[in-house]
Amino acid sequence: MNAEHEIKKYEVLPGHVFVAALLETVEQMSGFVLNEVKNDPEADQAHEIIGAMVLQGENTMLLTLETNKKSAAPLVSFMTGIETAALDAELLNDGITELINMVGGSARARLETTNYKFVLSVPFTLVGNGVKVVVKKRTDSFIARLVCDEIELLLRVYKL
């Protein structure tokens, strides 16, 4: 059998692939090394910025990165070299949008030869106090909480 045509089959959402893509992206672009910690569903998960992309394929997914301005500020500051005090909301939102764009691109390459192969939509951002994505109950999903100092990011993948 030609190895180029072997398709790896994931039985469940390959969330670990997206986590690896996020860890690499944040470290390369900002220098921060995130750690995955246990997610507490009871904890306050109200966020202010959600970067999102639709991943269209045999298994279509919604990829989101949730955070708040307090976390986004040091990330974008270290990415751009601009001091946190000089960062406006537009730059913070754009920084999170660009991060999810890079995570999506990186994950696409990692999943190219699997049953989760996909094409990317344009990235977009949802903003507002307590903004959240609501999907139908029992939607298959994956969640990972990643932290470094004052930075906290919530990565979610929903199977649509």
| Interaction of residue 153 with another protein, rule CB under 8 A | no
Angle between helices 69-80 and 15-30 (to 10 degrees): 50
Closest CA to 109 of 121, 117, 97, 101: 117
Orientation of helix 69-80 relative to helix 89-110, angle to 10°: 80
Start-end of H helices in the chain: 15-30, 69-80, 89-110
Q: Quick one: which of 11, 90, 149, 150 contacts another protein (CB under 8 A)?
A: 90
Write down the least CB distance from residue 122 to another protein, Å: 7
Q: Are strands 151-159 and 35-37 parallel, antiparallel or unpaired?
A: unpaired
Is residue 39 at the binding interface for another protein, with CB under 8 A as the rule? no
Identify residues 47-76 at the interface with another protein (CB under 8 A). Answer: 76
Site pattern 92..131 for another protein (x: CB under 8 A)? --xx-xx--xx-xxx-xx--x-------x-x---------
**Footprint of another protein (CB under 8 A):** 24-25, 28-29, 76, 79-82, 90-91, 94-95, 97-98, 101-102, 104-106, 108-109, 112, 120, 122
